[in-house]
Amino acid sequence: MRANVGCVEMLSIAQVDKFEPQPRPALVRPRSSPLIKSGTKILIVDNDEDVLIALERVLEDEGYATATAHCLGEASRLLSCSACAGLVLDDYLSEVDSIVALTELRRLGVTPPAVVVTYHKYPPTSLQARLRLLGVGAVVNKRAYSRLAVSIRELLERGPTERTRALGEWA
């Protein structure tokens, strides 16, 4: 016997005893491209601890292993002693901006494919052009987490020859 009270449907005791909840289907979140191996190491460089943690979580959720650095010196040490497939670099570290940082890393010969993150919603075209000359794959807003994940994946899917060809004579 069922009684409809307002919007709530009442069940009899016999019906409640027979009730078996249906199992919920497991939520499967699509992973990143199968071309990118799980555990690909990405170095994140930012002087803001909160941003560093947020970016680290986003990339780890995408299946990447991460390493973090708070300054250019720490980043260059990490890049020189361990292989990183990619670099996520803040557009302005406390001691230098991203252009100086990338130039210094290139001088040391430790520049992996890079994505620069910024607080600008729409980064200035002049900044994007200068960073492209230094081999940066994308300039992304720090809060555009899905765009960051896509940019990293696209950058790593391009082979090293495609990245070098994009640089032209600057490579």
Spatial separation of the C-alpha atoms in residues 7 and 38, rounded to whole Å: 49
CATH number at residue 128: 3.40.50.2300
Q: Is residue 82 part of a domain?
A: yes
Q: Is residue 159 part of a domain?
A: yes
Q: pTM of the predicted model, to two decimals?
A: 0.69
Indicate the number of domains in the chain. 1
Question: Per-residue pLDDT for 122 more than 60?
Answer: yes
The arithmetic mean of pLDDT across residues 20-47, rounded, is 61
pLDDT of residue 161: 46
* Neighbouring C-alpha atoms within 13 Å toward the C-beta of 35: 9
The arithmetic mean of pLDDT across residues 123-138, rounded, is 82
* pLDDT bracket for residue 34 (50, 70, 90): very low
pLDDT of residue 33: 44
Q: Could you report the per-residue pLDDT of 47-61, keeping only the tens digit for each?
A: 999 999 999 999 999
Q: Is residue 131 part of a domain?
A: yes
* pLDDT bracket for residue 164 (50, 70, 90): very low
pLDDT of residue 87: 92
Spatial separation of the C-alpha atoms in residues 140 and 146, rounded to whole Å: 10
- For the ranges 3-12, 41-50, 136-145, the lowest mean pLDDT is seen at 3-12
Residues in the chain: 171
Q: Is residue 32 part of a domain?
A: no
Q: Could you report the per-residue pLDDT of 72-97, keeping only the tens digit for each?
A: 999 999 988 888 889 999 988 888 88
* pLDDT bracket for residue 107 (50, 70, 90): confident
Q: Is residue 68 part of a domain?
A: yes
pLDDT of residue 139: 86
Q: Is residue 146 part of a domain?
A: yes
Q: Is residue 129 part of a domain?
A: yes
Which structural domain range is residue 64 located in? 41-170
Residues 6+ apart with CB under 8 A from 61: none
